[in-house]
Amino acid sequence: MKIISYTLSLCAAMFLLSSCDGFLGLKPKGKVIPETTEDYEQLLNYEQIQKTSEIYPNFMTDDAFVPEKDPLIGGVKGLKVPLLRLYRFDKETFGESEEDRLWAFSYNRIYTYNVVIEDIMGTSEGTQQKKMEIKAEALLGRALEYLTLVNMYANHYDPATANTDPGVPLVLDKGIEKTNLKRASVQEVYDRIEQDLVEALKSLPERPVGNAFRASKSAGHGLLARMYLYKGDYASALKNAKLALEKHPELLDLKRYEVINPKRFAGRNNVPELTANPENIYIRMAPRAYGLTAQIYGSEDLVNMYDKQKDKRFLIYFARKISNLSLDHDLWVPYVRVNLAVTTPEMYLIAAEAEARLGAKDEALRYLNHLRDHRILEHTPLVASTSDEALKLVLDERRRELPFTGCIRLIDLKRLNRDPRFAKTVTHIVADETYTIEPNDPKYILPIPPIVLQFNPDMIPNKR
């Protein structure tokens, strides 16, 4: 097998080189060009391709708490400048010399997916079916990247304004010398995501090739379920969540696991991760192996949502003592590699939310209690007298299940703020100063990186 040396340079880094122009500003390095079907399949195992999203948007959410002083993470003064700006809800986030890794790495991966999509069918060797499967995986991966990008750098999907709201640039081929690209509308980006996923589902295998780092039909349905949830198309979200769970319903019984060595950092607990965790339908890791582990505290608002005596998510994943340090707040310390792609817990929560919103409270509670049976010691099933009550229970559970998971909480705040029942003002305190972000504040939308605007003068910036 030919070894592919196909290192892709990061957007921002290449922008800084005087010899480089264009929007992406990235060029493949190395002398070996993929030729065979197997060569292109190996691109799907490229290290950066197996990652997605980012962790820093969590600093804007109501889940995050950074104390003024702290013996472990250094407190507010220990935050890097962009993180401090996010935590204070500043208008400016990344300066011209600071890299926005969410944007840069996402388009880096999109470039690789585009190479596979554009060239795989013309390769030598390999069957037609194999080529179609590889192309389908690249389509799914590209859709995942754009779903994150459009929800971070654009207004949340609103059918009344999606055709005019600026989204993100749609780069759909391997051309890397593009100049002065413009932002597609939110509607156009969502249409492309849906088109890619629907096309991918035609050729994705029933089971992943090898392990869950490779895609399957369940992964395709899972991403469609997430996309439709964000669009507010709850019937389609429910349909696809059910299809994802049909072939992959497994949940980890967290009651069987525990903190086995509270003095350790990595290796604190015995919870299986990545391919050993049956909940992972499709794996894409956080940029940092353990995400925000030991980097942030749970806010009082978040921590108080857990049953601190019976909820294994709190008992295993938060701590006030680590190594020889005693802490004043509940530190987020799961030390489990984070999967930001498709998991069965998210599918159960999407199905439950959709059922509640569609008026089927008993079905919503069935999904919800099934998940909680695998999380709570001596679990007593939750009950609700109305669909609205069931919806509130589901949304609370979603927050308990998915804290600090990529961009999920920030996206949830954006979409839920549109509903007066769930709209929320988030408050952070820094050096006795109180900073707030009101529902639907334009600062919920991340700024287009300054260096991107510099090379694309006609691109519409986000007003914050």
Q: What is the rounded distance in angstroms from the CA atom of residue 243 to the CA atom of residue 228?
A: 14
Taking all residues of the chain, what is their mean pLDDT, rounded to a whole number?
A: 92
Question: Does 24 or 289 have the greater pLDDT score?
Answer: 289
Q: How confident is the model at residue 6 (pLDDT cuts 50, 70, 90)?
A: very low
CB 58 within 8 A of CB 296: yes
Return the minimum-mean-pLDDT range out of 15-19, 268-272, 300-304, 364-368. Answer: 15-19
Which residue ranges form the domains of the chain, and what is each CATH number?
Answer: 37-84+93-455 (1.25.40.390)
pLDDT digits (tens, 9 = 90+) for 30-87: 445 788 999 999 999 888 899 999 999 999 999 999 999 999 999 999 999 999 999 9
Question: Does 13 or 73 have the greater pLDDT score?
Answer: 73
Q: What is the DSSP string of 159-194?
A: TTTTTTSB------SS-----S--PPBHHHHHHHHH
For residues 397, 400, 406, 407, the Cα torsion angle rounded to the nearest 10 degrees is 60
pLDDT at position 179 is 79
Q: What is the rounded distance in angstroms from the CA atom of residue 172 to the CA atom of residue 166?
A: 17
pLDDT digits (tens, 9 = 90+) for 247-260: 999 999 999 999 99
Is the predicted pLDDT of residue 17 greater than 50, yes or no? Answer: no
SS (H, E, C) 46-59: CHHHHECCCCHHHH
pLDDT at position 47 is 87
pLDDT at position 32 is 54
Which helix or strand (DSSP H or E) is residue 434 part of? strand 433-437
Q: What is the rounded distance in angstroms from the CA atom of residue 412 to the CA atom of residue 401?
A: 13
- Span 370-392, average pLDDT: 98
Q: How confident is the model at residue 304 (pLDDT cuts 50, 70, 90)?
A: very high
Q: How far apart are the first and last CA of the chain?
A: 50
pLDDT at position 10 is 31
pLDDT digits (tens, 9 = 90+) for 73-126: 999 999 999 999 999 999 999 988 899 999 999 999 999 999 999 999 999 889
pLDDT at position 25 is 37
pLDDT at position 390 is 98
Is the predicted pLDDT of residue 12 greater than 60, yes or no? Answer: no
Contacts for 209 with CB less than 8 Å, ≥ 6 apart: 133
Q: Could you give the angle at which helices 361-373 and 387-401 cross, rounded to 10 degrees?
A: 30
- Span 349-358, average pLDDT: 98
Q: What is the rounded distance in angstroms from the CA atom of residue 161 to the CA atom of residue 182?
A: 18
In the chain, pLDDT over 70 holds for what percent of residues?
A: 93
pLDDT digits (tens, 9 = 90+) for 182-210: 999 999 999 999 999 999 999 999 999 99
- Helix ranges restricted to H, 60-216: 81-87, 101-119, 128-152, 186-201
